[in-house]
Copies of this chain bind each other. A is one copy, B any other.
Amino acid sequence: MTADPETRLRADARRNRDQILAAARLIFAAQGAEVPMEEIARSAGVGVGTLYRRFPDRDALIRAVAVDNFDRVLRDARAAKDQEPSDWDALIRLLHQSMELQLSIQLAMVSPRALAILRSDPAIKALRDELLVVLSGFVQGAQAEGRLREDVGTGDVAMLFATLLRQMPGKGEEVARIAMRRCIGIMIDGLRAGQNESLPGRALTGDDLDP
């Protein structure tokens, strides 16, 4: 173990570093990992110089964000497993952590650059795999409980959320087409009248689409 090299920063430097990471998390989640460095710096309230001093290039920043994010999600997932009464509830709870999950998905499934980094970094890859195992546990558990429909797999759930967030690049063309159809099918089932939870907020009308 390398003693973490960020401990010996001057107080203000540490603060800035944290702000940069927080800003990057927000921006990456919302817009993907290809955002101009200057925008991240501005949003963090620092100059680009500061950003580059702490993270030598974009890849380093992405790596840092990715580790942080996967770690959080994994922690959340385990907390859900412990605290919720069933796998179905744990899954639902996890799916509602939208912001973290959205960031994970951007990094792991949408941004080509981030994807390349994840692949090349064994530590991150390990985190990702670990997460996938936990997720699979939820899916199979919830199915065993009779609460999750039998005809979906872990990939469906992930794809559903990924597709919800963006059309994925590449992804074998064939799988993407199939995945798309399945997502639409699931969503249509979600639209059916019947035993549903009530939705938050009010029904959106056509006018809500305008501006």
Q: Could you tell me which A residues sit within 8 Å of B by CB distance?
A: 30, 92, 95-96, 98, 102, 109, 132, 135-136, 143, 146-160, 163-167, 171-172, 175, 178-201, 203-209, 211
Contacts and interface: CB of A to CB of B under 8 A. Distances in A.
A201 B181 contact: yes
A190 B193 contact: no
Contacts of A109: 209
A199 B187 contact: no
Given A198-B151, A201-B178, A206 B158 contact: yes
Nearest to A149: B193
Q: How many copies does the complex hold?
A: 2
Contacts of A165: 163, 166-167
Given A135-B206, A155-B206, A206-B136, A187 B185 contact: no
Given A164-B163, A175-B208, A211-B172, A157 B191 contact: yes
A155 B205 CA distance: 4
15 contacts: A95-B188, A132-B209, A143-B193, A146-B193, A151-B196, A152-B191, A152-B203, A155-B204, A156-B204, A158-B209, A165-B167, A181-B200, A181-B201, A186-B190, A189-B189
A148 to B, nearest CB: 6
Nearest to A147: B193
A21 to B, nearest CB: 21
Interface centre among A150, A178, A185 (most CB of B within 10 A): A185
Contact of A197 (B171, B178, B189): B189
Nearest to A152: B203
Interface centre among A132, A154, A190, A201 (most CB of B within 10 A): A190
